[in-house]
């Protein structure tokens, strides 16, 4: 399965659904905790969006996204006859328009309210998918239209994903005080639902591909139209969305030097995660039956995410954000160290495949540890200010790191004189992040476990 970067930011990408697992926060209760008092002062939607709606939205977003986007490369090569470099450029533009524009989407959500920006993002993605289909309906395929469609597709994600993160953070703040057992945050559940959508989406797209990519793209547009109609009804028009006194959108996150530094350091996580879809498949391409090995790696990553994301997040809640971030970054760095050693040894093909699988497992475990933790920290950095630009900057820094880092990785990967160079390059920023990022956490949470404000019921 080929994943595109949907957010996971999430994914997430990188973006298990817990429909009946959120009874507590639906009551609209507020966390009364000295470390999180700013959350209780933040504007709370009235009435609040129900958590199952938010998690279900992430699932639907990823089903629609992954039903279409993994097949873009196929269309660019077969219908437009582009070379691999040109295909990479087009897809890179799409990724940048999504990850790189998250900050804009977050600022707009702060200004106009998350509901409006989420619905507008759905409309932009509908236009993007429709444009993709339209580029192939002319007598001769129109590449400019197809590229425009990919840009709109990415921009749609940059608009609705920060708004969804804002609503998830508000739902997190309304949850009752935790019991004696640490539990995973709603952002961990968001990762699980996103991964489930990333598994289902390509299966839906492959089923439609027999009728041609036009049907796939139009089907995706129709699916997002249905999502938009559903959200227009399911997401309440909150007081925050309607208020004429809402302050102008401001670049709050850029004024917070600690958060800018944290976002820059945490970008190493998204760069590492992205190598599941760049450097590791390239490494597997050097062994026989590379396609089967790559498919097995992706399947293993999905299984690990679906089965371990919640236990890992519960553990992270127990140990607190500083420890969780440090260990998560170190796990990912250790994964790349495995390959740095492996490519320097005379291993047989089977051992080389095992080394890649071990790296993939360590990287995804590191990502499962650090990514939800970083998302739960964004409202703490915001300290009562609008959170959209904070979520946006976190993703935008990751997108820039992926765009620039992948260029370096590609060049180092071809540098046969030092086979381990690419893997060492990927490990270094993770080691730096492990050493420095915990020092930049807000003072109110330096020693506080995440579990006191971030948890999801079992």
Q: Which pLDDT band, with edges at 50, 70 and 90, does 3 fall under? A: very low
- The position carrying tokens 């945050």 is 185
* 167 assigned to some structural domain: yes
Q: Are 99 and 157 in contact (CB under 8 A)?
A: no
Tell whether 2 is covered by a domain: no
Measuring CA to CA, which residue among 361, 371, 379 is closest to residue 437? 371
Q: How far apart are CA 110 and CA 249, in angstroms?
A: 6
Dist CA 228 CA 240 (whole Å): 20
Following DSSP, what letter does each residue of 216-269 receive, concatenated? HHHHHHHHHHHHHHHHHHHS---HHHH-TTPPPP--GGGG-HHHHHHHHHHHHH
Coil vs helix vs strand at 289: coil
Integer Cα distance of 174 and 156 in angstroms: 28
Do 313 and 185 contact (CB within 8 A), yes or no? yes
The mean-pLDDT minimum among 115-119, 133-137, 234-238 falls in 234-238
In a domain, 12, yes or no: no
| Mean pLDDT for the stretch of residues 301-312 | 90
DSSP one-letter code for 454: -
* 302 CA to centre of own chain: 14
42 secondary structure, DSSP code:
S
The pLDDT-based confidence of 281 (bands split at 50, 70, 90) is confident
Contacts 24+ apart (CB under 8 A), 283-287: 283/339, 283/343, 283/352, 283/356, 284/353, 284/356, 286/352, 287/349, 287/352, 287/353
Q: Considering the domain boundaries, does residue 34 fall inside one?
A: yes
Rounded-to-integer distance, Cα 110 and Cα 247, Å? 8
Which is nearest to 286 in space by CA: 334, 337, 342, 333?
A: 342
User: Span 14-30, mean pLDDT?
Assistant: 34
Contact (Cβ atoms closer than 8 angstroms) between residue 260 and residue 390: no
Q: Which residue has the higher pLDDT, 106 or 414?
A: 106
| More confident of the two residues 247 and 242 | 247
pLDDT at 345: 87
Q: How crowded is residue 301: how many other Cβ atoms within 10 Å of its Cβ?
A: 25
pLDDT tops 70 at residue 454: no
The SS3 call for residue 82 is coil
> pLDDT, tens digit, for every residue of 249-274?
477 788 888 999 999 999 999 999 98
The reply to whether 399 falls in a domain is: yes
**Sign, Cα dihedral of 241, 26, 453, 184:** negative
What's the rounded Cα separation, in Å, for the pair 146 and 285? 29
Helix intervals (H) in 79-142: 84-99, 102-112, 114-134
CA distance 195 to 200: 9
Kindly report, residue by residue over 364-422, the tens digit of the pLDDT. Answer: 999 999 999 998 898 889 887 888 888 889 888 988 888 888 888 888 887 777 889 99
Domain with residue 361: its CATH number is: 1.20.1250.20
* 6 pLDDT tier (thresholds 50, 70, 90): very low
CB-neighbour burial class of residue 165 (10 A; exposed 0-12, middle 13-18, buried 19+): buried
Contacts of 347 (CB under 8 A, 6+ apart): 355
Q: What is the mean pLDDT of the chain?
A: 80
Domain that holds residue 382: 23-452
Entry pTM: 0.76
Calpha distance 362→343 (Å, rounded): 17
Number of domains composing the chain: 1
> Which band of pLDDT confidence, cut at 50, 70 and 90, is reported for residue 424?
very high
Q: Cα–Cα distances in Å, from 116 out to 102, 152, 220?
A: 16, 17, 21
Neighbours of 37 (CB within 10 A): 14
Q: What confidence tens digit (pLDDT) does each residue in 24-61 have?
A: 333 333 333 333 333 333 444 445 568 888 888 899 99
pLDDT higher at 156 or 74: 156
Residue where the block lists tokens 């009728």? 211
Residue 271's Cβ-count burial label (10 Å; 0-12, 13-18, 19+) is buried
- Of all residues in the chain, what percent carry a pLDDT higher than 70? 80
Which two tokens mark 171? 């739902």
Question: Cα 449 to chain center, whole Å?
Answer: 23
Distance CA 312, CA 325 (A): 12
pLDDT of residue 328: 97
In the chain the first and final C-alpha atoms are separated, in Å, by 29
The answer to whether residue 11 sits within a structural domain is no
pLDDT of residue 16: 34
> CB count, 10 Å around CB of 235?
24
Which residue in the block uniquely carries the two structure tokens 């998204």?
270
Residue 273: C-alpha distances to residues 5, 166, 276, 333, 419 (Å): 10, 23, 6, 11, 20
């Amino acid at each position: 399965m080929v994943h595109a970067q949907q957010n996971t930011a999430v994914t997430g990408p990188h973006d298990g659904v817990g429909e009946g697992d959120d009874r507590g926060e639906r009551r609209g209760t507020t966390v009364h905790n000295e470390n999180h008092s700013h959350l209780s002062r933040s504007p709370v939607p009235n009435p609040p969006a129900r958590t199952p709606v938010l998690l279900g939205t992430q699932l639907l977003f990823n089903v629609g996204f992954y039903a279409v986007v993994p097949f873009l490369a196929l269309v660019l090569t077969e219908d437009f006859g582009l070379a691999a470099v040109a295909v990479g450029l087009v897809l890179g533009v799409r990724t940048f328009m999504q990850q790189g524009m998250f900050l804009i989407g977050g600022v707009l959500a702060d200004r106009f309210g998350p509901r409006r920006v989420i619905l507008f993002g759905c409309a932009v993605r509908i236009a993007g998918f429709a444009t993709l289909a339209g580029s192939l309906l002319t007598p001769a395929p129109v590449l400019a239209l197809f590229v425009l469609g990919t840009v709109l597709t990415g921009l749609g994600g940059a608009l609705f994903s920060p708004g969804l993160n804002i609503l998830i953070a508000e739902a997190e703040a309304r949850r009752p005080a935790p019991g004696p057992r640490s539990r995973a945050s709603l952002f961990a559940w968001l990762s699980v639902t996103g991964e489930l959508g990333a598994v289902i989406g390509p299966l839906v797209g492959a089923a439609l591909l027999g009728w041609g990519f036009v049907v796939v793209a139009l089907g995706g547009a129709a699916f997002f139209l249905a999502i938009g109609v559903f959200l227009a009804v399911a997401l309440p028009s909150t007081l925050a969305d309607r208020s004429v006194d809402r302050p102008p959108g401001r670049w709050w996150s850029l004024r917070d030097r600690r958060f800018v530094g944290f976002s820059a350091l945490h970008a190493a996580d998204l760069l590492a995660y992205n190598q599941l879809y760049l450097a590791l498949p390239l490494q597997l391409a050097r062994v026989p039956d590379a396609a089967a090995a790559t498919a097995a790696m992706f399947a293993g990553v999905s299984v690990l995410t679906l089965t371990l994301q919640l236990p890992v997040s519960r553990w992270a809640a127990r140990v607190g954000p500083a420890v969780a971030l440090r260990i998560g970054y170190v796990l990912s760095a250790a994964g790349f160290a495995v390959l740095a050693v492996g490519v320097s040894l005379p291993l047989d093909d089977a051992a080389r495949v095992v080394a890649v699988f071990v790296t993939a497992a360590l990287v995804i475990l590191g990502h499962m540890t650090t990514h939800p933790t970083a998302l739960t920290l964004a409202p703490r950095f915001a300290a009562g200010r609008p959170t959209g630009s904070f979520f946006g900057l976190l993703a935008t820094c990751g997108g820039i790191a992926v765009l620039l880092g992948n260029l370096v990785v590609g060049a180092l990967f071809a540098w046969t004189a030092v086979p381990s160079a690419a893997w060492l390059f990927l490990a270094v920023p993770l080691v730096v992040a492990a050493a420095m990022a915990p020092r930049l956490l807000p003072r109110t949470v330096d020693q506080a476990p995440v579990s006191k404000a971030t948890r999801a019921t079992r």
